[in-house]
């Protein structure tokens, strides 16, 4: 909180400094990306940011149906998580998977636009390089293209994200076109679509029948024609993922699909080993849950032994 009456060097008002650092006083704080240099009273980026990628650059990453360097995408839900992932990623997805990962829900269905907006804004504040894409939650866009626009415009205005993502293929093509024509970049999502888990009957891989194979390809093509700048294909047998990738001019991001896709996305907590269960399509790169468990166990032992806090962590009288 800024105290506008506080003195500042060289006659610069603190309200002006607040505006310089954070934007308008009622805007979200940007302290995750900027710090005040007290010797010059200037706000400097820390670390010095690269120019943020844009949706057109992501789309143009695939040229003549080919992607030389696969796109890197991970989920992020908090500002600090975004800071740690940002420099390594091309895109950060604020996925509705936060319902399970952050809130302990049994599916993505109870997630609300307000939840997506809160976490989306945090991820935007914590990043400076990646394109931030925010999921549109179940029930917030399917009813009509006008409802979808209302939800998407609120998400973009309140988070500062670059794009939204929605699930569904041919059935959502008209909505994707409606949004794209009104300045809202859309990432599609086909194959296994978690918001339709009740219709699909579970989370099993899709595309084992010729009918499903044809539908997934047709869904992707319909979204491309409608103006989607990229598509996530999830939980499909590999030949379909390869065929879909080859059939589209826009980047296809795989999750449980194929290394031949134009990029990959995973839930960060899955690949870091935050949960005991590891989905088949996830490679666990670390066991962070074990690190946390051991660290907290050590902390608990020291507290009970009264060895923490020690003199180093306490304030002593000045001599």
Q: Which residue has the tokens 């065929």?
A: 243
Residue of 258, 230, 268 whose CA lies nearest to 94: 268
**156 Cα distance to chain centroid:** 13
Residue of 229, 283, 275 whose CA lies nearest to 256: 283
* CA gap 43, 17 in Å, rounded: 8
Q: Which residues are catalytic?
A: 234
In the numeric block, which tokens belong to residue 165? 């993502």
CA angle (58, 28, 137) in 5-degree steps? 55
Give CB contacts under 8 A, 24+ apart, made by 60-69: 61/90, 61/251, 61/262, 62/249, 62/250, 62/251, 62/262, 65/246, 65/248, 65/249, 67/251, 67/262, 67/263
Q: If you count them, how many residues does the chain have?
A: 319
Residue of 169, 111, 158, 157 whose CA lies nearest to 135: 111
C-beta separation of 92 from 130 below 8 A: yes
* CA gap 113, 21 in Å, rounded: 28
Q: Where are the alpha helices (DSSP H) in 87-195?
A: 98-101, 113-125, 145-159, 173-180
* CA gap 247, 203 in Å, rounded: 25
C-beta separation of 157 from 182 below 8 A: no
């Amino acid at each position: 909180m800024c105290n506008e009456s506080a003195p500042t060097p060289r006659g610069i008002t603190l309200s002006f400094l607040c505006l310089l650092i954070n934007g308008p006083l009622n805007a979200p704080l940007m302290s995750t990306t900027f710090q005040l240099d007290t010797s010059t009273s200037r706000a400097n980026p820390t670390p010095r940011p690269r120019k943020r990628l844009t949706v057109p650059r992501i789309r143009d990453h695939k040229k003549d149906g080919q992607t030389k360097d696969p796109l890197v995408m991970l989920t992020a839900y908090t500002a600090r998580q975004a800071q740690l992932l940002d420099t390594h990623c091309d895109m950060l997805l604020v996925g509705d998977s936060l319902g399970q990962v952050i809130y302990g829900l049994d599916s993505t269905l109870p997630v609300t636009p307000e939840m997506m907006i809160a976490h989306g804004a945090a991820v935007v504040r914590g990043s400076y390089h990646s394109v931030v894409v925010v999921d549109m939650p179940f029930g917030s866009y399917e009813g009509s293209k006008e409802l979808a626009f209302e939800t998407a415009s609120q998400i973009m205005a309140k988070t500062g994200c670059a794009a939204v993502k929605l699930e569904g293929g041919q059935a959502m093509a008209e909505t994707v076109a409606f949004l794209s024509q009104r300045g809202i970049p859309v990432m599609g999502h086909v194959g296994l679509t978690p918001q339709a888990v009740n219709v699909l009957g579970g989370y099993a891989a899709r595309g084992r029948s010729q009918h499903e194979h044809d539908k997934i390809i047709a869904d992707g093509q319909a979204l491309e024609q409608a103006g989607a700048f990229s598509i996530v294909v999830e939980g499909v047998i590999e030949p379909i993922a390869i065929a879909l990738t080859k059939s589209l001019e826009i980047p296809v991001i795989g999750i449980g699909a194929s290394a031949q896709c134009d990029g990959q996305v995973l839930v960060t907590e899955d690949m870091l080993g935050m949960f005991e269960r590891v989905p088949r399509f996830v490679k666990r790169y670390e066991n962070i849950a074990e690190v946390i468990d051991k660290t907290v166990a050590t902390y608990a032992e020291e507290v009970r032994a009264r060895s923490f806090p020690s003199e180093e962590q306490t304030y002593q009288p000045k001599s």
